[in-house]
Structure 1
């Protein structure tokens, strides 16, 4: 059973999201929050697997709440995954939320089944980005690459670099394993090492770092 926390400042939205999640046998809402402060407190108290987090909330934004949850997590690993909900294709907070460690971005008009699939996807350690925002996010990050990206990439082995390139191309763990002849467990283990060496929280940050460094433009 995947445990879900819903954070949104509109009661109607919280109720609708709860109905969407609870209609699936493998998903269950364990708590709701009406603002960013409540989201952090409820997450620490209920330890959900996934947080469905609104961006614009009072007291603390979804970005601030995401950063606090992931940096101050008081329990054993794993930390919860965060799916950020946004009203617009490219919200002003999206870049900050990515850097804070969000694993997914969806528009609020996404279909109920797509939301459920997104929750399952991020629990597996993969990313879920709304198709309409992905390319613009990547282009924006390329325009403002973080300092030291190439230095961090030099820490990777050749095989880890192969895995990172396939992550940057949007492949899932299963697809990477099939492409490189690796088991799912091996792919996951190598991804964890990649994240640690790059200082990345998840595959979204790692993929964007690869794009920033121009790895996909280099000859193989």
Structure 2
């Protein structure tokens, strides 16, 4: 099955280059283009692509707001597209906002072509493109925040089972289902089912949001590096 991609970037040359790269890859095809966030939202609803490759810094409506509207706004029938964020700077604060808005991952614009192809396929399959560099910065950012004073109010993770917490820990460390299954002695299908159940219980769109929430809630094993090796 061909993965249909919508390109959203305010630079025509960037869109043209991405189109050439994507259309040359087996199983990938560019379904359309958008020059700003508002157009990206409209074209996503009209074309129903599998993946939106979204720039974050665009005039008018930003890629962050466009991502939020695509992922949480009104949607009639069919699955919502996955959003893969493109950025020039990996420290861009917009990246984190886009991930919170529901993006399934991010990629730098100067990434190798093969990495772009891989990211599109991973996101289309429902996985997250949570690069190790992002994970490290999440650790650094949340480790700098003092722990909540005791007694702590019940958190959103309190209803998870022990096994679900183990799975969430590894998701937050950026590991794919196959690696999580290997570390925990589970089948890959079982891990996928558990991840979906975790997302449903927490009311989240994807694994990236689950990772961010795990850091915010201070899931044991993230700040101190404990837990199964990754």
> TM-score over 0.5 for the alignment?
yes
Q: State yes or no: 1:157 paired with 2:158.
A: no
Give CA deviations for 1:88-136 in whole Å, capped at 9, x if unaligned.
1211212211110111111111111110000111122222144444422
The TM-score, its normalising length taken from structure 2, stands at 0.86
The answer to which of 106-115 and 204-213 deviates more is: 204-213
The TM-score, its normalising length taken from structure 1, stands at 0.90
Match of 1:177 among 177, 181, 184: 181
Question: Which residue does the alignment assign to 1:10?
Answer: 11
Aligned residues: CA RMSD: 2.3
Distance 2:139 2:78 in 1: 29
The answer to which of 189-198 and 203-212 deviates more is: 203-212
Q: CA deviation at 1:150?
A: 5.7
Q: How many residues end up aligned between the 2 structures?
A: 219
CA contact (8 A) 1:164 1:210 kept: yes
Question: Which residue does the alignment assign to 1:119?
Answer: 120
* Higher fraction of helix: 1
CA contact (8 A) 2:132 2:174 kept: no
Measured at CA, do residues 31 and 156 of structure 1 come closer, stay the same or move farther in structure 2, by a change above 3 Å?
same
Q: CA deviation at 1:11?
A: 0.5
Question: Which residue does the alignment assign to 1:92?
Answer: 93
CA contact (8 A) 1:95 1:137 kept: no
The answer to which of 109-118 and 130-139 deviates more is: 130-139
Distance 2:202 2:14 in 1: 36
The answer to which of 96-105 and 204-213 deviates more is: 204-213
Match of 2:204 among 200, 203, 214: 200
Measured at CA, do residues 73 and 117 of structure 1 come closer, stay the same or move farther in structure 2, by a change above 3 Å?
farther
**3-state SS in 1 of match to 2:26:** coil
Q: State yes or no: 1:215 paired with 2:220.
A: yes
Distance 2:130 2:24 in 1: 23
**3-state SS in 2 of match to 1:32:** strand
Unaligned runs of 5+ in 1: none
Q: CA deviation at 1:143?
A: 4.4
**3-state SS in 1 of match to 2:93:** coil
Q: CA deviation at 1:161?
A: 1.2
Question: Which residue does the alignment assign to 1:60?
Answer: 61
Give CA deviations for 1:56-94 in whole Å, capped at 9, x if unaligned.
112210000000000015134532111111111211212
CA contact (8 A) 1:73 1:79 kept: no
Question: Which residue does the alignment assign to 1:19?
Answer: 20
Question: Which residue does the alignment assign to 2:106?
Answer: 105
Q: CA deviation at 1:185?
A: 2.4
Distance 1:33 1:131 in 2: 29
Distance 1:41 1:101 in 2: 17
Measured at CA, do residues 78 and 181 of structure 1 come closer, stay the same or move farther in structure 2, by a change above 3 Å?
farther
**3-state SS in 2 of match to 1:79:** coil
